[in-house]
C-alpha cells in the first residue's frame, strides 16, 4: 500500500467550496450567486494601464519582493486618504498575491505550532487552512445566527495564556457584519491587556452600506504597533482575478510577513502593480459610487430572497447575504447547494463549511449580490421554483 502523500497538517484540507460550487454552476449553466466575484470588469482606465504596462517592456520581469515603489506609495496614500493612517511605504507596506497570500504569510510568520489563534466564527476558509498550515490551534469567537452580533465577552472567554494572535475580518465574510467603533474599542482593550497581535482582513473596506462605517482597528489607540492590516484590489476594483493584495503594519510585522511571502511567491503580477497604483488614486467619487451600486444590488437580492419566503440577515457590508432555508422546506445547506445548480439553475454557498461547529450554520446559505441587476433578477426568477 502506498503511504498517504498528505502531511497530517493538511489532512482536513480539500477542494474549496468555491471551486466545487463554481464548477457545478458551469456544468449546469447556472446563475452563479456562490463564489464572490463581480460579473463585470473593473474601471476601464485601470485595465488600460495594465495593457500599457504589459506593452511598455518595463514591467514583465520580477517585481521587487515587497512590491513596486509606486504601488507601495499609493497604498500608503490610500490609508491616509480613507483612514487617516500614516504608514511608511518602504518599511510598513508589503504587496502580496491577493489578501489570501497576505493572510497565509502572516499566519506562518507569527504563529508557532501549538499557539492559539482566536478568530471570528464563522471563518473565511483560508483562515482555517492558514492556521492549520502554521500548526496553530483555532479558537472560535462565535457570531451566533440569526443576527451574528459580536459579543466581547465571548472574546474574553476565548483567550488563554497560549493565545498568540487575534484574526479579525470586517466587513465580515460570510455574515456581512461590520464591527462598530465600539466593538473595535472593546476588542482593542482586550488585545492590549493580553498583549496580543492582530491580523485584520479588510478586503471589503469600501463595501459598507447604510450608515455603517468601516474603521480599521489599527487606527485605534495602542493598536498600530501590534496590527497587520490586510486588503486587496480584488473587491475594491472588481478585479478579483488579478490577485493584487497588500499588508500594512509596523516594520517588525511587515518584515516577518515579507520574509515568509518571499518563499511563497517572491512577487507576482508585475504589470498589474502599476495599474493598481493608479486605481488607488481614483477620485473619491469612484469609491462612493461602488458602495452605492452594491447597496442597491444588496437590496434587490435581499428583497427577492425575502419574497421567496427566506429569512435573511441584511448585511451591513461585503458581498453576501445569508438566508435561512428552513422556511422553504430544507434544512441542510450543503445538500441544498449541491442540488441547486442542476435542479434550479442557481449556485450558492452553504454556510456550514465556515463554522467551527457546522451544525450552527447548517440551515444557512450564502448568496452573493456582486452581480449585475439583470443577473440577480434572473437568479431570483429561477429560485421562484422553490417557493412555488
Ligand atoms: N478575505 C476575505 C474575507 C475574502 O472574502 C476574500 C475573497 N473574496 C479574500 C480574503 C481573498 O482575497 P484575494 O482574492 O485578494 O486573495
Ligand atoms: N472570497 C471569495 C468568496 O468568499 C472566494 C475566493 C476564492 O474562491 N478563493 O466567495
Q: Residue of the nearest CA to atom 2 in ligand 2?
A: 36
Average pLDDT of the residues in 164-189: 98
Q: What pLDDT does 90 receive?
A: 98
Give the pLDDT confidence of 255-279 residue by residue, as tens digits: 999 999 999 999 999 999 999 999 9
In DSSP terms, 113 is beta-bridged to none
Residue among 18, 25, 240 whose CB has most ligand 2 atoms within 8 A, to mutate: 18
Q: What pLDDT does 11 receive?
A: 76
3 state SS of 152: helix
Ligand 1 near 234 CB (within 6 A): yes
Is the confidence at residue 115, as pLDDT, over 70?
A: yes
Q: What pLDDT does 9 receive?
A: 84
Query: At 162, is the pLDDT very low, low, confident or very high (cuts 50, 70, 90)?
Result: very high
Average pLDDT of the residues in 231-237: 98
Ligand 1 near 203 CB (within 6 A): yes
Q: Residue of the nearest CA to atom 4 in ligand 2?
A: 36
Q: Write down the mean pLDDT value for the chain.
A: 96
User: Ligand nearest 34 Cα, by number?
Assistant: 2
Q: What pLDDT does 8 receive?
A: 84
Q: How far is the CA of 19 from the centre of ligand 2 (A)?
A: 9
144, 145, 136, 146: which is closest to 166 by C-alpha?
A: 136
The answer to whether the CB of 217 falls within 8 A of the CB of 168 is yes
Ligand 1 near 36 CB (within 6 A): yes
Q: How far is the CA of 99 from the centre of ligand 1 (A)?
A: 6
Residue among 104, 106, 124, 228 whose CB has most ligand 1 atoms within 8 A, to mutate: 124
Ligand 2 near 36 CB (within 6 A): yes
Query: At 1, is the pLDDT very low, low, confident or very high (cuts 50, 70, 90)?
Result: low
Residue among 20, 34, 36, 231 whose CB has most ligand 2 atoms within 8 A, to mutate: 36
Q: How far is the CA of 156 from the centre of ligand 2 (A)?
A: 29
Average pLDDT of the residues in 108-124: 98
Q: Residue of the nearest CA to atom 5 in ligand 1?
A: 173
User: Ligand nearest 122 Cα, by number?
Assistant: 1
Cβ contacts of 319 within 8 Å, gap of 6 or more: 36, 173, 204, 207, 235, 294, 368, 369, 370
Could you identify the atom of ligand 1 that is nearest to the CA of residue 100?
16
Share of the chain above pLDDT 90, in %: 95
In DSSP terms, 346 is beta-bridged to 31
Average pLDDT of the residues in 76-83: 98
Binning the chain into helix, strand and coil, the percentages to the nearest 5 are 45, 15, 40
Give the pLDDT confidence of 129-159 residue by residue, as tens digits: 999 999 999 999 999 999 999 999 999 999 9
Is the confidence at residue 114, as pLDDT, over 90?
A: yes
Q: What pLDDT does 239 receive?
A: 97
Cell of 50: 495594465
Q: What pLDDT does 330 receive?
A: 96
Q: Residue of the nearest CA to atom 3 in ligand 2?
A: 36
Ligand 2 near 173 CB (within 6 A): yes
Q: What pLDDT does 286 receive?
A: 98
Cell of 72: 507601495
Is the confidence at residue 19, as pLDDT, over 90?
A: yes
Query: At 76, is the pLDDT very low, low, confident or very high (cuts 50, 70, 90)?
Result: very high
Give the pLDDT confidence of 345-370 residue by residue, as tens digits: 999 999 999 999 999 999 999 999 99
Residue among 121, 235, 243 whose CB has most ligand 1 atoms within 8 A, to mutate: 235
Q: What pLDDT does 6 receive?
A: 81
Ligand 1 near 124 CB (within 6 A): yes
Ligand 2 near 200 CB (within 6 A): no
Q: What pLDDT does 387 receive?
A: 81
Query: At 388, is the pLDDT very low, low, confident or very high (cuts 50, 70, 90)?
Result: low
Ligand 1 near 232 CB (within 6 A): yes
Cβ contacts of 61 within 8 Å, gap of 6 or more: 270
Average pLDDT of the residues in 378-383: 98
The string of DSSP codes covering 207-227 is -B-TT-----GGGSTTTGGGE
Q: How far is the CA of 212 from the centre of ligand 1 (A)?
A: 21
Give the pLDDT confidence of 311-350 residue by residue, as tens digits: 999 999 999 999 999 999 999 999 999 999 999 999 999 9
Q: How far is the CA of 344 from the centre of ligand 1 (A)?
A: 28
Q: What pLDDT does 13 receive?
A: 82
Amino acid at each position: 500500500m502506498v503511504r498517504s502523500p498528505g502531511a497530517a497538517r493538511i489532512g482536513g484540507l480539500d477542494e474549496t467550496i468555491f471551486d466545487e460550487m463554481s464548477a457545478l454552476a458551469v456544468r449546469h449553466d447556472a446563475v452563479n450567486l456562490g463564489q464572490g466575484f463581480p460579473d463585470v470588469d473593473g474601471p476601464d482606465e485601470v485595465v488600460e494601464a495594465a495593457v500599457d504596462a504589459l506593452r511598455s517592456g518595463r514591467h514583465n520581469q520580477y517585481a521587487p519582493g515587497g512590491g513596486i515603489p509606486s504601488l507601495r506609495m499609493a497604498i500608503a496614500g490610500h490609508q491616509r486618504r480613507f483612514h487617516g493612517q500614516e504608514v511608511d511605504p518602504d518599511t510598513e507596506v508589503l504587496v502580496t498575491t491577493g489578501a489570501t497570500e497576505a493572510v497565509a504569510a502572516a499566519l506562518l510568520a507569527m504563529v508557532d505550532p501549538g499557539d492559539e489563534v482566536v478568530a471570528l466564527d464563522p471563518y473565511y476558509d483560508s483562515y482555517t487552512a492558514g492556521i492549520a498550515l502554521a500548526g496553530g490551534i483555532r479558537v472560535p469567537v462565535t457570531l451566533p445566527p440569526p443576527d451574528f452580533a459580536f459579543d466581547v465577552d465571548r472574546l474574553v472567554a476565548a483567550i488563554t495564556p497560549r493565545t498568540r494572535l487575534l484574526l479579525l475580518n470586517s466587513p465580515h465574510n460570510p455574515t456581512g457584519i461590520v464591527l462598530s467603533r465600539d466593538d473595535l474599542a472593546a476588542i482593542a482593550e482586550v488585545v492590549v491587556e493580553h498583549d496580543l497581535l492582530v491580523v485584520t482582513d479588510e478586503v471589503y473596506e469600501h463595501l459598507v452600506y447604510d450608515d455603517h462605517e468601516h474603521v480599521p482597528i489599527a487606527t485605534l489607540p495602542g493598536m498600530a504597533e501590534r496590527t497587520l492590516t490586510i486588503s486587496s484590489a480584488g473587491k475594491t476594483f472588481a478585479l478579483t482575478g488579478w490577485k493584487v493584495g497588500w499588508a500594512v503594519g509596523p516594520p517588525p510585522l511587515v518584515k516577518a510577513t515579507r520574509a515568509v511571502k518571499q518563499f511563497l511567491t517572491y512577487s507576482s503580477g508585475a504589470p498589474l502593480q502599476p495599474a493598481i497604483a493608479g486605481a488607488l488614486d481614483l477620485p473619491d467619487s469612484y469609491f462612493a459610487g461602488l458602495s452605492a451600486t452594491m447597496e442597491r444590488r444588496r437590496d434587490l437580492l435581499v428583497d427577492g430572497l425575502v419574497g421567496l419566503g427566506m429569512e435573511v440577515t441584511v448585511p451591513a457590508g461585503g458581498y453576501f447575504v445569508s438566508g435561512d432555508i428552513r422556511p422553504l422546506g430544507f434544512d441542510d445547506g450543503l445538500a441544498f447547494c449541491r442540488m441547486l445548480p442542476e435542479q434550479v439553475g442557481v449556485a450558492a454557498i452553504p454556510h456550514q463549511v465556515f463554522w467551527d461547529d457546522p451544525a450552527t450554520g447548517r440551515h444557512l446559505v450564502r448568496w452573493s449580490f456582486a452581480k449585475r441587476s439583470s443577473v440577480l433578477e434572473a437568479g431570483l426568477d429561477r429560485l421562484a421554483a422553490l417557493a412555488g
